[in-house]
Chain A
Amino acid sequence: MSDATIAAESGGAAPKIAKISEAVIRIAGNSQDGIQAIGGFLARLAGRSEQEVMTFMTIPSTISGGPSIFQVRIGSGEVLSSGDDADVLLAFYQHSYEEHINSLKKGGIVMYDSDHVEPRSEWQKDYHHLGVPISSLTVEAIGGTAKDKGKNIFSLGLVAKMFDLNVTKLEKLIGERFGGKDVSILNNALAAFHAGYSHSLGNVLETFKFVESQRKTGQQVVMNGNEAMAFGLIASGVRFGAGYPITPWSDIMEILRRELPKYGGSFIQCEDEIASISMAIGAGYAGRVAVTGSSGPGISLKTEALGWAVMAEVPLIICDIQRGGPSTGMPTSVEQSDLNIACFGGHGDSPRVVVAPASVEDCFYTAIEAVNIARKYNVPVLILSDQAIATRIEAFQEPNLEQVCQDISPDLTPVPEHKAYDLSAPDGVAPRVVPGTRILSGKYSIATGLEHDEFGHPTGSPKLHMQMTARRRKKLQALGASLPTPKVYGPPEGNVLLVGWGSTQGPIREAVDRARAAGDSVSSLHIKHLNPLPPGLENIFSGFNHILVVEMNDEGLYGYGQFAGLLRARYCDPKIRGLNKTDGLTWKVKEILERARNNVADGLRKL
């Protein structure tokens, strides 16, 4: 929440009501406290109020217990990141209080459970402290059997009061969430909420009210990136998938397993990662565009089969929800360190398509685009999402489903003849003919991983291997040439260009806004199509003195992250340098700016 707005709008008798355009609320507790539920309610409320919202959460990789946070940023204007510093910290325990007080803005409000937290005197002057015996008041409100359950909903009531949130809408959300269960559960939840809401906030300096949103774009839907990806796949017409559970990919397979049967489709849980991709490729060979996916180690396991899909030219979607690596790595932390395996993983020359969604909304549309690329070019497409985008909740304009949903069921119309690997096909893309299709010439092609002739029969011919290798490459070159050149955010020429891919779009754009507001010459470029790259990037790069590739991965042996390395290999441009980090957390806006400033010796301003 911007201080300027508070100063301008506040006034009158205490407690004052300040009009704010946005707020960052961080809720810190343990993983079993249901703090994600509070965040989820706030996010959905924002969605229903035409406000923008972005969330950020961390969860421990333990099964139960362990510190966990959920951060919600709600704004009446555009919200690009989950926010660097919180305006309000809600701390359930001493460790939540002590570990997260630094994430609070100076002058921010820390609301803590006084049953568990002993406030420190040295922090009193920097932060407004507001102790509420959350645990005992929750027990008082809903009875002793509840134990720790319900204090999240009590706290939601406190937050609702503090930000003058729409109580009717929140009650409705609580009703939707708990309505299906035993009626006493819903009553308890509402009792906890009202107890929190009617609790006197006492000496807190002010409460807040969001200014009305400027955006009236119609209905918004609220979901996280994994949900958006799963529903995007359904909209694209995908009706078959196979997978194996692994964090943070599992949500997608759970959703597809649950939802696909409504559409007559199936998602199969397999014995392992290799079986999953094999089953998906089998269905792809049989005429579907099937999906598999994974995270971390699971992607490594799938690479041999991926190479087969490249060789046999079977369309396939692989969702890679990246997490910290290598090996088991950091299962519940974010990293963008799978770009290399996505683009190059596997033996031999095996060109495949790699795309990365930039936001939750983009997860939905990227899934559809990926399916259509896979169908058009008979090629596997990897969608590089990550833990941060997978778990963060955003509100976005409801897609026009009647328009975007497509039917991609196989066409079994007989054909006079067919060569699956026709060397004379335009752009190397031979039409796909699937089992069940009668071929009137009586000559059927075999799908194969061996180097082959035009009918898929094995060959050791040097000439054919050269021709087929080139054909598989040319398909991707044709795709690359057809891609749109991404647009520069900010002026198309200047001093510094921040380049990003995937989930970092929001914080990078916010960094540009902030830098430009301070008079610095900074623009950004977000690249969605990572392999093949879109045309025209060299022209964009030529307009800047410094090209800094902002990534959540290691700077590597030579000082460049994975995408920076790819861009340097492609454009041989020494201006391309890396801004990398490996702490398993999303970029903060100030972090990007500080690092960029240090990287560019002469400052961000154009000389």
Chain B
Amino acid sequence: MNPPSTEIPARGGNIIAVPSLTTTTERKGLTKKEIVADHPTWCPGCGDFSVLALYFKLIEKRKMEHEKITTIAGIGCSSRFPYFVQAHGAHYIHGRALPFASGISLSRPDLHVFVFGGDGDAFSIGGNHFNHTARKNIKMTYVVMDNWVYGLTKKQTSPTSPLGFKSKTDTWGAVDYPINPMKQAIAAGATFVARTTHTNPNHVLQMMEAAMDHDGFGFVECLSECVEFYEGAFDASNPRKGGAFNLVPADHDVTDEMAAYKLADSPFPGQFGIFYKVNKPTKNVKETGINKAAMEKVKGLKDWQILQKTFERMK
């Protein structure tokens, strides 16, 4: 453990220049032991375990420090995530993790914000937040562990449950057309849209890392089987269960929105990989631009003097 720094961070009210500490000693990066917190409360065999394990791996691989990441989730089985990670994190309310995470992202440019959640959080109760966070291109990484069922509340129909899925709220089989997360994300204006499945760990890590490196709203749908309430849901995508894991074709143009939409239209198991990726200025960058222009006009003035100038016009 390094000794506590005695330097006092420079304070300044604005959120462009966040107070930061200069680290004097080079830090080695965290070991898995240092990043693990509570033992997950998930059922044995749950797909979410592999997503968590790969998140740890990503943190190790990229030598991220405890204090530079925040792990945010809403409500659901998968949303228990922050408790299992030894770092700053928050377990927010159902469906609203994205606006909460946006508040962090937009006010703390020094942090990387990871959001984990399920299909109910993302596409049902939080559906509108998904659309708006995507279109605003707020910088963060969002991994949706899609299991096609409500697990925490014990087997009700989810917005991604396929037609005919027998749940406690549709004992005769689901009748509502499911949401296609890929189409939803592309149509909403997400700038990074990828699909993966928990049964292919290397691919999950690849997609999470690519999403993290994307400067903008990086969305990954990760199929994550609920062994308790929807066993075998994704067998068709798992070669070990006789299914097919097909990558996005090598010649797919990730900047072609129509081609991405077509990929998203393939019947299950479809393809895995990056469907869509474009670089557009993030809201973070745009807001910083607005601030820089505004601050240029009051250059050299202290905050109270700026307010004084405003009050001069109110006399």
Contact = CB atoms under 8 A, between A and B. Distances in A.
Interface of A: 44, 47-48, 176, 219-223, 227, 231, 234-235, 237, 239-240, 242, 259, 261-266, 268, 270-272, 274-276, 278-288, 290, 304-305, 308, 312, 398, 401-402, 404-405, 407-416, 434-440, 442-444, 446-450, 457-458
B315 A222 contact: yes
A412 B110 CA distance: 11
Contact of A440 (B1, B98, B131): B1
Contact of A278 (B16, B96, B302, B310): B96
B99 A414 contact: no
Given A275-B129, A411-B19, A435-B70, A401 B311 contact: yes
23 contacts: A44-B314, A44-B315, A261-B295, A266-B287, A266-B291, A268-B102, A274-B99, A281-B103, A282-B90, A282-B92, A283-B107, A283-B108, A286-B108, A398-B311, A409-B19, A411-B11, A413-B21, A444-B88, A446-B90, A447-B89, A447-B91, A448-B90, A457-B83
B104 A283 contact: yes
Contacts of A450: 91
B216 interface: no
Contact of B315 (A219, A239, A437): A219
B5 A413 contact: yes
B90 A447 contact: yes
A29 B189 CA distance: 47
Contacts of B291: 261, 264-266
Contacts of B9: 411-413
B152 interface: no
A282 B315 contact: no
Contacts of A401: 304-305, 307-308, 311
Given A237-B13, A265-B13, A436 B110 contact: yes
A312 B104 contact: no
B93 A304 contact: yes
Nearest to B1: A440
B250 interface: no
Given A282-B99, A401-B311, A438-B67, 7 more contacts: A281-B92, A285-B103, A409-B19, A412-B9, A412-B67, A437-B88, A438-B65
10 tightest CB-CB pairs across the interface, nearest first?
A264-B14, A282-B103, A261-B294, A405-B304, A278-B99, A275-B99, A283-B103, A435-B88, A282-B100, A279-B103
A271 B306 CA distance: 30
B91 A265 contact: no
A442 B34 contact: yes
Contacts of A239: 13-15, 107
Contacts of A284: 103
Contacts of A446: 82-83, 89-91
A472 B68 CA distance: 29
Contacts of A415: 4
Interface in B273-315: 287, 290-291, 293-295, 297-298, 302-308, 310-311, 313-315
Interface string B9-42: 1011111111111000000000000100110000
B13 A264 contact: yes
A274 B111 CA distance: 24
A436 B34 CA distance: 17
B67 A439 contact: yes
B153 interface: no
Nearest to A455: B37
Contacts, number: 242
B57 interface: no
Nearest to A270: B99
B21 A286 contact: no
Given A261-B291, A407-B12, A412-B21, A439 B315 contact: no
Nearest to B11: A409
A308 B107 contact: no
A436 B314 contact: no
A402 B103 contact: no
Contact of A221 (B34, B303, B315): B315
Nearest to B33: A442
Given A261-B291, A435-B88, A440-B1, A266 B315 contact: no
Task: Find the residue from B13, B83, B129, B293 having the highest chain A CB count within 10 A.
Answer: B13
Contacts of B311: 221, 231, 398, 401
B2 interface: yes
Given A282-B103, A290-B103, A407 B11 contact: yes
A449 B91 contact: yes
Nearest to A288: B107
A242 B106 CA distance: 11
B87 interface: yes
Contacts of A266: 15, 106-107, 287, 290-291
Contacts of A414: 4-5, 21
B128 interface: yes
Contact of A271 (B18, B129, B298): B129
Contacts of A410: 18-19
A447 B44 CA distance: 26
B183 interface: no
A305 B96 contact: yes
B106 A440 contact: no
Task: Name, among A221, A274, A308, A412, the residue most crowded by chain B CB atoms within 10 Å (CB to CB).
Answer: A412
A44 B311 CA distance: 12
Contact of B90 (A219, A288, A312, A412): A312
Interface string B43-84: 000000000000000000000011110101000000000110
Contacts of A287: 107-108
Given A275-B129, A412-B19, A290 B100 contact: no
A114 B208 CA distance: 74
A435 B104 CA distance: 9
A438 B66 contact: yes
Contacts of B12: 264, 407, 409
A263 B106 contact: no
B238 interface: no
A413 B8 contact: yes
Interface string B246-263: 000000000000000000
B203 interface: no
Contacts of A416: 4
Contacts of B304: 235, 401-402, 404-405
Nearest to B284: A266
B132 interface: yes
